[in-house]
Structure 1
Amino acid sequence: MNLFSDIRDLVIDTLAAMQGAGELPEDLDFANVTVEPPRDPAHGDMATNAAMVLAKPAAMKPRDIAQVLAARLADDARITSAEVAGPGFLNLRLDAGVWQAILRAVLAEGADFGRSDLGAGKRVNVEYVSANPTGPLHVGHTRGAVFGDALASLLDFAGYDVTREYYINDGGAQVDTLARSVFERYREACGLEPEIADGLYPGDYLVPVGAALKAKYGESLLDKGEEDWLEELRDFATDAMMELIRADLKALGVEMDVFYSEKSLYGTGRIEAAIESLRDKGLIYRGTLEPPKGKMPEDWEPREQTLFRSTEHGDDLDRPIMKSDGGWTYFAPDVAYHFDKISRGFDALIDVFGADHGGYVKRMKAAVSALSDGKVPLDIKLTQLVKLWKNGEPFKMSKRAGNFVTLRDVVDQVGADVTRFHMLTRKNDAPLDFDFDKVTEQSKDNPVFYVQYAHARVCSVLRKAAEAGIDAADATLGDADLARLGHEAEMTVIRKLAEWPRLVDTAGRANEPHRVAFYLYELASEFHSLWNRGNDEPGLRFLQEGDPATSQSKMALARSVAVVISAGLGILGVTPAEEMR
C-alpha cells in the first residue's frame, strides 16, 4: 500500500476528468505532477504541485487550475479538505480512516509492507567491492561493500531481479607482484630471511600463505627461477587472497552471487569479441591523441594507437584500447567484462567504484552505451573516503595489513551492524568520519543506537503486554479499534509510517540506500518523541492499565513502527535489536 501513489493516482484521474469537462486542455503531460509531504506539517497531510506544473502548458493561471482541482478532490471520501495556498499549491488533509488503514496494512503485510513493483522484475547487475586480490579488504572497501550490498537489497525490495557480483582483478601486473611477495614469505617459511623489496606487499597476512606454500612444495621451489614458479604462485596466492576476502565479506554480512575472474577474459576470445563489436559499429580506429592536460607540447611524443571513439557516446576524449606494442590497455578487459554483462541479458548495470575512479566514469559509460546501442543503462556510484577516529585522534594503521586499516579491524571493534549502519549515514559521494567512540555511544546523536533503541522499546512493550495477559498478535492488533488513536503525536508517527513505501520508490529510482538510513532515524525520532510525551501524559502510554482495548490500539501503532524499522534495517543488512545492553 503506497498512500502517496494512491493519492497521486486520484489527482491524475481528477485532472483527466477536468480535461473531459473542458476545464483543462487536452494533450497535457502529467509526468511531473507530484504528491508528497508538505514542507510544513501544519499545512496538511499531503501537497501537490499539479497546478504549478500545468499552468504554463495549459496557458492558465495556477490558482485557477488549483481551485477547480480542489473542488473536485473534495468529493472523494478520502479527502477531508483541499486548500489552495500561495500561487497555486494545493494542500490536502485526509480522513482519519485513511491513516487507520495504514496501520492495518502494516500489520497485515508485515515485512512486505512497502515492497514495490518499481523494478517490474527487470534484471539488474550490481558490481561492488571488486578489490584487487592482493590482501585483506581495507576500510575504503568496507564502505563500498556496505553501500553496494544495501543498494542490491533496496533494489530487490523495489521489485528488481538483482545479481550481486564481484569482479576479481586477477589479470594484471599486481598479481605478479603478489606472487613475488608470497615467494618471499615462502622463503621465510623455509628458514631464510625474506627480502621485501620496494613495490612488494609487506603485510603479515602473507605469512600463512607462505607457510601453506611450503607445506605443499616443501623446499623444492627455492632453487628454481621465477619463470618456473611465477604462474603457479599467481594462482595459489590469488586463491588464498580470495579466500581471505570472502571471509572478510562474510564477517560484514555480504554474500555475492557471482565472482567473475578478469583472467578468464584472456586467451578466450572474449576481449577480441567485445572490441570487434565496437569495430563493427565504426568505433575503433587508428589515430593519435592530443597531449594530456598539464604536459607541454615539447614533452609529448605523439604515437599512433588503436582507439575507441568514446566521444560519440558522451566521453571527453577517445580512449586507447590497444597499446602500440599490440597488447591490450587496462581498459580493454573492462570493456569486455561489461560486454559479457550485457550478453548475459541484464536490463541495467550498476558499478560501485572508489573515489579514485572518478576519471573512469565517462569512458565506462560510453563503452556500455556503445556496446548495448544505448539500451542498457550503466549507473556508476563513487564512494568517498572514510576517515577513522578513536579517542579524538586518527585511528592507527593495522600492522597486519602493512599499510592500511582493514575491514576486520573495524568490524572487530564495533561489530557488523554498527559498521553497516554508520557507513550509510552519509550519501555515498560525501566523505564520512567513522569515530569508534561516537558510533558506540548510547545517545540520540548516534543514529544506529537511536534506531535500534526504538525497535527494542517496542519489543519491551510487547513483552509487558504478554505479562499482563493482553493479546498482542499482529492479527489481533490489526482488528483493534484504531479510532482510539487521534493525538497529534500519534498521528505524526502514522504519517511517517505512510511515507515508507514512497521512500522505497524514491530511493530505488535514485539508487540511494542512504535514504533508508535517514528515514529510519526520522521514524525513530518521532516514535521516541511520542514515548517521552507519555511520561508526562499518561493517556499517550502504550499500555493503559485496566483498558486492554485502548492498549491494543496503541500497541498496533508501536508494533507497526517495529515492523517498518525491521524492514528498513533488513535492507541495510542490520539485525534489529530486541533489547539494549
Structure 2
Amino acid sequence: MADISSTQHLFAQVLARVHAVCTAELGIAADLSRVVVEPPKDPTHGDMATNAAMVLAKEAKAKPRDLADKIAGRLRAEDIVAAVDVAGPGFINLTLKSSVWTDSLRAILRAGNAFGESAIGAGEKVNVEYVSANPTGPMHVGHCRGAVFGDALASLLQLSGFDVTREYYINDAGAQVDVLARSAFLRYREALGENIGEIPDGLYPGDYLKPVGVALAAEHGKALLAKPEAEWLPLVRAKSIDMMMEAIKGDLAALNIAHDVFFSERSLVAGGNNRVAETIDFLRAKGDVYEGRLPPPKGAPVDDYEDREQTLFRATNFGDDVDRPLLKSDGSYTYFASDIAYHRNKFDRGFHNLVDVWGADHGGYIKRVEAAIKAVTDGKATLDVKIVQLVKLLRNGEPVKMSKRSGDFVTLREVVDEVGKDAVRFMMLYRKNDAVLDFDLAKVIEQSRDNPVFYVQYGHARGHSIFRTAREEVLHDLPEDEGIRLAYLASAAFDRLADPAELSLLRKLAVYPRTVEAAAAAHEPHRIAFYLYDLASDFHALWTKGRDLPYLRFIIKDDAEMTKARLAMVQGVVTVLASGLGVLGVGAPNEMR
C-alpha cells in the first residue's frame, strides 16, 4: 500500500485501505462504490468513519454488526490505524496514528500553494454563467451576491481540475432595453438644456443615465430630436447598452471579477443567422414542437398563458409541468425561446456541463430550461441551476436607505466603496446561496471574532507575525521568501508535534483537499468559507492556549527544534488559509492595519 503522504489526500488513501480489507474479508467481487470514508459527526468517535459493513452486509450474507467486527479486526493491523471501534448497527470508527497527521503536514510543505488542487475535474469543460444582469442600470447588492458566488464557484472548479469558462449573458433583446433607450433619450434632451420635469412612470428614474444623455448629445448634437422614434431608438439603445455594460464591467472589476465571455442575446437573431428559428425548427423536426392550445392554468395564473392556437415546446416530455410557448401573439419570440437557443449554443461550443447562477425570482423557471436542455442535447448535457437568495442590507441592524443615484436600490459599488472588496466577497459566501443573507455594513468591518472575514484574514496575518518574531528571537536564518521557507521548514522534527491541540489543528489542515473536492462536487463554495473560519478559530485558540501554557507557545526561545516544528505547523495554516481565501477571491494579508 502506498505511503499516506504520497497520495492526493488522506481520505483517498484510507478509503483504498478500507476497500482492500473489505475485498480480502469478503472473498467476493463486492460493489465497493457505495463504501465511503468521512469524518464522524462526533469527533470523540475518532478521526474517520466508514459505512462499509452496512452497505456490504447483503452481498456478504452476514449481519452488518458481525461483518463490521471482522473488517475492524483486519483494519487494526493497518500501520496507520491506532484504534478501531464498531458502533451501533455496524458503523466502523477509526482513530489514526499521530504520524498520519504529521505526514500530512509534510505533504502541505511539499505541495506549497498547490496543496488542495485536485484532478477530479479531469479537464472537463464547464460553463459557469453568472450575474447576467439586464444592462439597464448599475448593479445592485442582489447582483453582487450572484456575482461573488459565481466567481468563487468558477475558481473552486478550476482548483478541482475543471476547464472553466466564466460567462455573462447580456439580455439586450427584450422590451426592457427599449425602455432603457427611451429613458436615455429623455436624459439626452435634458443634456441639450430641456427641462424634462419628473421622470414618467415606466421609465428608469436614476441619475446613472445622465452620462448617457451627455454622451448622446456630444455625439449627435440635436440631430436625434428631428428623427422619429423608429430611427433614433436603435441608435440610442446601442449607445445605452454599451455604456451600461462598461459600467457593469467596472462594478465587477471593483470585486475583481472578470468574465471570459460576454454573450449577447441579440446576437442570436442578428447578422442573418437566426439561431432561435434554427433551434425551433430543430425541435420541430424531432417532434418536440407543435401547434396547439394550452389548458387554462390551475390555481395561480401563469404569466405566459394565452388561450389561443400557438407554437409550443413539449416540455412535459422532459419533466416540466406544462408545455411552453415559443412565440408571442405578435409573432416575436418568447424569452424562453431565446433561452433554449442560447443553451443550445453553449452545447455546440463544447460545453456538456452547465452551471447557471440565477436570482431568487427565477426558481419557477428551472424545470422548463432543464427540459429544453434535455431536448436540444439529447440528454448529453447537464444543467445545475444555483439560486441566489436575497440580500438584506443593514447598518447596525437597521435597513439601509435606498440610493439616490440608482433611484430605488443600493448599488454594488456603494457597498464595495464603504466596506471593501474582501468583506463583501467573504460575507456574500458565508451563508449557503439559497438562504436569505443579512449583510450588516457596520458588523463586516468590526475587528472581532464575530466578524468572520476579519477573523480569517487575521489568522493569516498572525502566522506571518509569528514568522517575523521567530526570525528576530530564535531562528535568525528563517527565510522570508515563502518558497525557500517551505523547504527550510520541511526538515523540522515533526514528531515533536504531539500535543492533542496540535494534532487537532493538523487534522483540520489535512481535510482541506477533501473539503475542496466536496465543495466543488456540490457546487457550494460556502463550504470553503465555513472551513476557513473553523481553521482560523482552531489556530487562534492554540495561540491563546500558549499564553496560559508557555510550553505550547509557537516560539520557545531555548528550544529551536521545537520552534521550527511549530513554525512548520504555522506554515501549514498560512498555506491553507491563503489557498482558501484565493478560492473565495479574498485577500490574504501578511499584516492587519
TM-score bracket for the superposition, by shorter chain length = over 0.9
SS for the counterpart of 2:356 is strand
CA distance in 2, matches of 1:445, 1:281: 57
User: Residue in 2 aligned with 1:9?
Assistant: 16
Moved more, 448-457 or 274-283: 274-283
Q: What is the deviation of 1:470?
A: 4.4
CA distance in 1, matches of 2:445, 2:301: 52
| 1:257 pairs with 2:221 | no
User: Residue in 2 aligned with 1:382?
Assistant: 387
**1:36 corresponds to which letter in structure 2?**
E
Q: What is the deviation of 1:166?
A: 0.2
CA distance in 2, matches of 1:204, 1:327: 32
1:535 to 547, 550, 553: 547
CA distance in 1, matches of 2:417, 2:301: 50
CA distance in 2, matches of 1:486, 1:415: 40
SS for the counterpart of 2:581 is helix
User: Residue in 1 aligned with 2:133?
Assistant: 131
Moved more, 327-336 or 566-575: 327-336
User: Residue in 2 aligned with 1:222?
Assistant: 225
**Matches for 1:189-208 after TM superposition, within 5 Å:** 189-194=191-196, 196-208=199-211
CA distance in 2, matches of 1:575, 1:81: 41
CA distance in 1, matches of 2:540, 2:252: 34
CA distance in 2, matches of 1:342, 1:296: 33
Moved more, 388-397 or 405-414: 388-397
Moved more, 89-98 or 258-267: 89-98
| 1:245 pairs with 2:248 | yes
User: Residue in 1 aligned with 2:91?
Assistant: 89
**1:226 corresponds to which letter in structure 2?**
E
SS for the counterpart of 1:322 is coil
Q: What is the deviation of 1:277?
A: 2.1
User: Residue in 2 aligned with 1:557?
Assistant: 569
**Matches for 1:72-471 after TM superposition, within 5 Å:** 72-194=74-196, 196-267=199-270, 268-294=273-299, 302-468=307-473, 469-471=476-478
SS for the counterpart of 1:162 is strand
CA distance in 2, matches of 1:127, 1:488: 45
CA distance in 2, matches of 1:357, 1:131: 13
Question: Unpaired segments of 5 or more residues in structure 2?
Answer: 1-7, 480-484
- Asked whether the equivalents of residues 26 and 60 of structure 2 are also in contact (C-alpha less than 8 Å), the reply is no
Moved more, 50-59 or 372-381: 50-59
User: Residue in 1 aligned with 2:35?
Assistant: 33
1:548 to 560, 565, 568: 560
TM-score (norm 1): 0.97
CA distance in 1, matches of 2:237, 2:293: 35
Question: Unpaired segments of 5 or more residues in structure 1?
Answer: none
SS for the counterpart of 2:226 is coil
User: Residue in 2 aligned with 1:516?
Assistant: 528
CA distance in 2, matches of 1:479, 1:355: 52
CA distance in 1, matches of 2:285, 2:523: 33
SS for the counterpart of 2:223 is coil
**2:410 corresponds to which letter in structure 1?**
V
**2:266 corresponds to which letter in structure 1?**
K
CA distance in 2, matches of 1:120, 1:110: 21
User: Residue in 1 aligned with 2:45?
Assistant: 43
CA distance in 2, matches of 1:187, 1:346: 45
SS for the counterpart of 1:54 is helix
Calculate percent identity across the aligned residue pairs.
58
* Number of matched pairs: 574
CA distance in 2, matches of 1:163, 1:389: 34
TM-score (norm 2): 0.95
**Deviations 1:88-121 (Å, cap 9, x if unpaired)?**
1111121222111111111111111111111111
